[in-house]
Amino acid sequence: MKTYLKSWMKEHNQPLVFRHTSPYKLSVLHPLTYMDLAKSRGEDMPKPELVNYMKTRLNTEVEYHKLLPDHPKNHSFLYATIVGFHKMEPASAYPGFTYYFTMNSSQIENCLFEVIDVEHSYPATHGLSGLELTKRHWERFKHQMKPTPDEWFGTIDPRVEVVIPFSVKPFGFVPQEEDR
């Protein structure tokens, strides 16, 4: 997949490709309402963990809603990372679906970007300038960043997190493990 993705990026003159993972097969990736998010997560999480997860997510997203005030308050956000700007497992190791998509400058201008890492995080910043700031920060500290254990998710991987308030259509995906 890595070779295919690089050749696709070159052939389509796309310097950035975004990556989103999901346990579900989707034709369009979109932000969920908080109610739908709780239902989706509740399929796998025991109730106490789900309550804690939703509380943490809502607290985190208060800041995102301030930075993106036109986004509906009852909706979460779509999360992705940028290919080459993360320390996540390869798509072939992820048991679910890994989706790839691009965004134009106008779409990027309406997103938030931050670096997720215990020691070298960078706060959520808006638009093209935020993208450039987080990419520079990532390049400066990426060799010092390490995955950290998490009680429920196993590991929190360092990455440039992309917070997207709209739907995107993937151009391709790696299927779930049982379909490979």
CA 52 to the chain's CA centroid: 20
Which is nearest to 56 in space by CA: 180, 142, 151? 151
Question: 135-173: per-residue pLDDT in tens?
Answer: 999 999 999 999 988 776 678 899 999 999 999 999 999
CA–CA separation, 20 vs 26, rounded Å? 11
- Tallying the residues shown for the chain, one arrives at 180
Could you tell me the end-to-end alpha-carbon distance of the chain, in angstroms, rounded to an integer? 12
79: left (phi over 0), alpha (psi -120 to 50) or beta: beta
Q: HSE on the CB side for 121, CA within 13 Å?
A: 11
CA–CA separation, 26 vs 45, rounded Å? 21
Question: Tell me, what's the pLDDT at 78?
Answer: 98
Say what the alpha-carbon torsion angle 164, 161, 179, 39 is, to the nearest 10 degrees.
-60
Q: Which residues of 137-173 are buried (b: 16+ CB within 10 A; e: fewer)?
A: bbeebbeebebeeeeeeeeebbbbbbbbbeebebeeb
Question: Tell me, what's the pLDDT at 61?
Answer: 97
Give every residue of the chain whose pLDDT is below 50, as ranges.
none
Question: Tell me, what's the pLDDT at 28?
Answer: 98
Question: Tell me, what's the pLDDT at 45?
Answer: 84
